Amino acid sequence: MIISMEKGASKKKIEHVKHLIESFGCTAHMSEGAERTIIGVIGDKRDKDRLTMLEAQPGVEKVIPILTPYKFASIESKHKPTVVDAGLGVKIGGKKIIVIAGPCAVENEKQIFDVSKAIKDSGAHMLRGGAFKPRTSPYAFQGLKEDGLVLLARARERYHIPVVTEVMDIASIEVVSQYADCLQIGARNIQNFPLLKMVGKTKMPIILKRGMSTTIEEFIMSAEYILSEGNSNVVLCERGIRTFETATRNTLDISAVPVLKSKTHLPVIVDPSHGTGVSKYVASMACAAIAAGADGLMIEVHPKPEEALSDGPQSLRPSEFKELMDKLRKIAAAVDREL
């Protein structure tokens, strides 16, 4: 249940409604906007009738029942789309399209510096790079761990670009948060509920990647885990799902963009690199994502994809990335966005 207070309702009226909600044994989650306060009510379905009566209270504009199982992520729970500050003032979810680029994994200082400079020169807004890598094989490169985080932080300082990197488990949330601006929860951890709850207790911006076999509803429910712990800085990332098709690594679900946008107030970005797994298809799908209304992109770029320790086949060369950025500027303008 969502309670929308009237524009400019006094503090006293708001407190009174909050008090009533709590006296019913429900929890009130307050969201104070510039114009009005929205109260998210969590409680038993049986409290529905009593809560509906709150519409008669002074200062209450409307009581809106929530039909979806996700209360905080639901578009009905908020009047305005959420804009997430992902680090150093880079805002995801506004008119500006945000491009996050970088290698799959941080490999060494030269690699991460070269790629940071290249993507920054081409207009990227954020640097990505894995230090803790979730690999299918235990024998594959697992990432440089904290040494990789140190290199990311150095690139961040040198090129003045915020950094996003994956956090794979609860134990490493603290160390990753010390170096990164934004935490990525990878596809394989989409239903690691203890991890979701724990990042929900932080104030860090979170890029939440869709799991390879999660439905849209399950994806939003995972975001709900983070939101319900009090962290509303969540960006959803479509990165392809498993289908019967084998021509691409995954099937990029572009339709997830308008669907997610119609169901939630959270920003939505697309990762065409993991979505296709093939570098020559990345640009087309990046363009498609922006045309479909995505708020940003996450793209893997490597100075020498043929030498990459992970995901080389889907990584763009810096020159290809630059070319793509030029194309994206035109698409962004066509859909009344900026890049």
Ramachandran region of residue 149, left (φ > 0), alpha (ψ -120 to 50) or beta?
alpha
Q: How far apart are CA 214 and CA 218, in angstroms?
A: 6
Q: Per CB under 6 A, does 274 bind ligand PEP?
A: yes
Q: Are 153 and 163 in contact (CB under 8 A)?
A: yes
Q: Which does 282 bind (CB under 5 to 8 A by kind): Mn ion, ligand PEP, none?
A: none
Q: Per CB under 6 A, does 129 bind ligand PEP?
A: no
User: For residue 315, what is the DSSP state?
Assistant: P
What is 216-253 written as a DSSP string?
A: HHHHHHHHHHHHTTT---EEEEE--B--S--SSSSB--
Least CB distance from residue 318 to Mn ion, whole Å? 17
**CB-wise, 93 or 130, nearer to ligand PEP?**
130
Q: Per CB under 5 A, does 271 bind Mn ion?
A: no
Q: Which does 134 bind (CB under 5 to 8 A by kind): Mn ion, ligand PEP, none?
A: ligand PEP
Interface mask (CB under 6 A) for ligand PEP, residues 291-330, using x and -? Answer: ----------------------------------------
Q: How far apart are CA 164 and CA 60, in angstroms?
A: 40
Taking CB under 6 A as the binding criterion, the range among 111-119, 144-152, 156-164, 185-193 that sits at the site for ligand PEP is 185-193
30: β partners = 39
| Location of structure tokens 């194309």 | 327
Amino acid code (one letter) for 115: V
Taking CB under 6 A as the binding criterion, the range among 23-31, 182-190, 255-263, 330-338 that sits at the site for ligand PEP is 182-190
- The three-state secondary structure class of 5 is strand
Contacts with 131 (C-beta within 8 Å, 6 or more apart), sequence order: 105, 106, 143, 144, 145, 146, 147, 148, 149, 151, 152, 165, 166, 176
Q: Which does 327 bind (CB under 5 to 8 A by kind): Mn ion, ligand PEP, none?
A: none
Near ligand PEP by CB under 6 A: residue from 187, 221, 270, 283: 187
Q: Which does 156 bind (CB under 5 to 8 A by kind): Mn ion, ligand PEP, none?
A: none
CB atoms near residue 324 (< 10 Å): 23
**CB-wise, 54 or 236, nearer to Mn ion?**
236
Q: Per CB under 6 A, does 118 bind ligand PEP?
A: no
Q: What are phi and psi of 119, to 5 degrees?
A: -70, -35
Residues 97-116 that bind Mn ion (CB under 5 A): 104
Q: Per CB under 6 A, does 249 bind ligand PEP?
A: no
Q: Which two tokens stand for residue 274?
A: 């993991």
Which residues contact Mn ion (rule: CB under 5 A)?
104, 311
Which residues contact ligand PEP (rule: CB under 6 A)?
104, 130, 134, 186-188, 209, 239, 274
